[in-house]
Amino acid sequence: MQQYLQNKKGLVQSVFDQVFDRYDLMNDFMSIGIHRLWKKNLMNMMNPSAKQNLIDVACGTGDIAKLFLQKVNKSANVTCVDPNKSMINEAQKKLVEYKNLNWIISPAEELPLSDNLFDFYTISFGLRNTKNINKSIKEAYRVLKPGGRFLCLEFSKIQNSGLELIYNNYSKMIPNIGKLVVGEKEPYEYLIKSIENFVNQDELINLMNKNNFKKNTYRNLSGGIVSIHSGWKI
């Protein structure tokens, strides 16, 4: 495990290569299905219109893109980005009925896109897996249009000590659940470690400030198990 953590980029690629075809199943088990409510909260907070477009980075199997297109009656354009080709393939299968989708295999730190393209930038449960969080946020700012909005849904720091104790005890079980459900334990050992090592709510706000985002706020969900950070390119 320690050797993996020294090469985060290679580790993340290895993790998702192992679980891409059971990723949705394991997310449901890990969060008892609550991750779907968190993502709907993100979409409600975004409240997009049909004339607006989205880039969803670390798109995984396409949950955010699907919710966005449902929200705007399938009429807007969505660019889905993920560094893992297998994840992109799974997302394409799941969203085969939807049009106006662009697919890009790329890390968040080096998007092969021009400046000022998108009304919304989302990254859900992916920022902590990037090799360089600061550079990823800088890229988000670059590709957003003036007036565009950055939204990050990510595991965060729990605000209640009692809930934190329960969550920490449950987290210790997750690698064994992963072994039982998808046949792999090590990817989930990494995922728990990545959550523990991620910045807290205020530290992420500071990174957003550093990269010129304005009106930066966050909303805790489920007692701070996750949070949604929001900022604007003004």
Say what the alpha-carbon torsion angle 222, 215, 144, 9 is, to the nearest 10 degrees.
Answer: -50
Cα separation, 152 vs 216, whole angstroms: 11
pLDDT tens across the length of the chain (234 residues): 334 344 455 555 656 665 656 666 767 777 778 999 999 999 999 999 989 999 999 999 999 999 999 999 888 999 999 999 989 999 999 999 998 999 999 999 999 999 999 999 999 999 998 999 999 999 999 999 999 999 999 999 999 999 999 999 988 988 888 788 777 787 788 888 889 999 999 999 999 999 999 999 999 999 999 999 999 999
Nearest to 77 by CA among 46, 105, 101: 101
Residue 67 lies in domain: 2-232
Q: What is the CATH number of the domain that holds 98?
A: 3.40.50.150
Give the pairing of strands 78-82 and 101-105: parallel
As for how many domains the chain has, the answer is 1
Residue with tokens 């705007």, as numbered in its chain: 72
DSSP-assigned states of every residue in 164-221: HHHHHHHHHHHHHHHHHHHS-SHHHHHHHHHHHHS--HHHHHHHHHHTT-EEEEEEEE
